[in-house]
């Protein structure tokens, strides 16, 4: 799904200074000799460009190598440099259906502040924009006067190259009322992307996708959405890659309804039917309080009805995973979302059944360990990548508007 960013004014820089900055971003403290080894530049050029990057605000000079404890017998000790991780702030936002979470972080992704604001899924477009603004402003206030260098918004809707969602879908219209264009101007780039794409980015940066070339992250909840990483690259297509309406055509699946939503509905149907034995933990819960977590908890206690629902859902997951994994020949499918910590039995059933639906080696099915922050963390990682790619076009003294 194509992300969008506000246009930055072009400012040509040499490939050499870009190479030095890339090296700084990829390592911690370094010397001119390290730059020479990594880039092939001459010593004088490496030092000159490092000094220029200090002047631009991207690098800081540390104590020299002798003061840092390196052993020197003679000669001038090497100068040492480091990326200024406090040169600016990035903000990652999970603009979900029910709540808005904003995380402010430094340029290494270390969280500096966060805010969380509930929002009504049926709220007006302006109310949603206001909630996003409030979350961003609150996170930034906790970080002091330094302005952000990039803000990334994650929304539960497909995104085109302009940061807009296709018209005509009521849910998408509500979730993304052109948020990127309407939030308050903070003098920096704004990127809008799909939540499942950002979840996939987060898994690749700090989660179950680390070290895996090809994987899918499936976001569970009210609906299913997927972020595809194939051969190390996020697949975007023309803007709707990851929308899982093809599941409507899959026998035994039939829709892109979310795992949590279906387990809740199935549990409530059993509860309302009067068919639950008195021994079932679900029989003691008011109908309105039966949800996916309570069904999975009852299954963990050995409840026969809940176990039947787990087997039913596990088979559905297996069929779905066979289609998605088979199409792209991925190594792993990561299931992310609020119920991911409770999915062990579901994924055991699915893992047992998926070989029967595939002729090739099936993908490994795992639950995400990132929790509810997955989209916001992916947004932070995407914001840092945007700053890194555009660093030499950013004036740190006066961010680009």
Contacts of residue 104, Cβ cutoff 8 Å, sequence gap at least 6: 89, 90, 91, 111, 112, 113, 114, 139, 140, 142, 143, 148
- Residue pLDDT, tens place only, 231-271: 999 998 777 788 888 899 999 999 999 999 999 999 999 98
pLDDT exceeds 70 at position 1: no
- Residue pLDDT, tens place only, 161-217: 888 998 888 999 999 999 999 999 999 999 999 999 999 999 999 999 999 999 999
Interior angle at CA 291, CA 285 and CA 296, nearest 5: 95
Whole-number pLDDT of residue 11: 41
Question: Does residue 378 contact residue 200 with C-beta atoms inside 8 Å?
Answer: yes
- Residue pLDDT, tens place only, 338-366: 899 999 999 999 999 999 999 989 999 99
Structure tokens that stand for 283 in this block? 């029989």
Average pLDDT, the chain: 90
Whole-number pLDDT of residue 74: 52
Strands 99-105, 111-118: pairing is antiparallel
Strands 189-194, 215-219: pairing is unpaired
Question: Does residue 138 contact residue 130 with C-beta atoms inside 8 Å?
Answer: no
In angstroms, the first-to-last Cα distance of the chain is 25
Torsion of CA 363, 368, 373, 374, to 10 degrees: -10
- Give the global pTM: 0.87
């Amino acid at each position: 799904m194509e992300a969008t960013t506000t246009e930055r004014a072009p400012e040509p820089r040499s490939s050499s200074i870009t190479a030095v900055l890339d090296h700084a971003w990829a390592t911690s403290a370094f010397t001119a000799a390290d730059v020479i080894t990594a880039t092939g530049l001459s010593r004088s050029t490496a030092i000159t460009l490092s000094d220029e990057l200090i002047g631009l605000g991207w690098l800081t000079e540390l104590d020299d190598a002798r003061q840092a404890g390196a052993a020197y017998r003679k000669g001038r000790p090497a100068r040492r440099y480091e990326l200024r991780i406090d040169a600016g702030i990035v903000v990652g936002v999970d603009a979900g259906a029910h709540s808005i979470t904003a995380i402010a972080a430094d340029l290494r992704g270390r969280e500096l502040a966060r805010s969380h604001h509930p929002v009504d899924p049926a709220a007006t477009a302006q109310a949603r924009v206001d909630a996003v603004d409030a979350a961003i402003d609150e996170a930034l206030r906790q970080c002091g006067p330094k302005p952000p260098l990039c803000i990334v918004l994650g929304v539960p809707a497909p995104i085109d190259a302009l940061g807009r969602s296709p018209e005509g879908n009521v849910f998408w219209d509500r979730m993304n009322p052109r948020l990127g264009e309407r939030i308050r101007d903070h003098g920096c780039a704004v990127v809008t992307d799909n939540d499942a794409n950002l979840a996939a980015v987060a898994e690749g940066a700090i989660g179950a996708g680390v070290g895996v070339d090809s994987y899918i992250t499936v976001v569970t909840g009210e609906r299913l959405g997927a972020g595809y990483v194939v051969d190390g690259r996020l697949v975007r297509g023309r803007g709707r890659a990851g929308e899982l309406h093809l599941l409507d055509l899959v026998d035994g699946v039939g829709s892109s309804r979310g795992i949590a939503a279906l387990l809740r509905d199935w549990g409530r149907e059993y509860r309302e039917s009067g068919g639950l034995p008195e021994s079932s933990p679900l029989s003691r819960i008011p109908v309105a309080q039966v949800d996916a977590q309570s069904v999975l908890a009852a299954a963990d206690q050995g409840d026969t009805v809940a176990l039947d629902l787990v087997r039913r859902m596990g088979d559905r997951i297996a069929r779905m995973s066979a289609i998605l994994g088979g199409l792209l020949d991925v190594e792993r499918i990561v299931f992310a979302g609020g119920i991911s910590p409770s999915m062990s039995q579901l994924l055991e059933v699915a893992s047992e059944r998926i070989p029967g639906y595939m002729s090739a080696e099936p993908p490994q099915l795992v639950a995400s360990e990132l929790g509810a922050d997955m989209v916001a963390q992916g947004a932070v990682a995407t914001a840092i990548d945007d700053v890194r790619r555009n660093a030499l076009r950013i004036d740190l003294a006066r961010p680009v508007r």
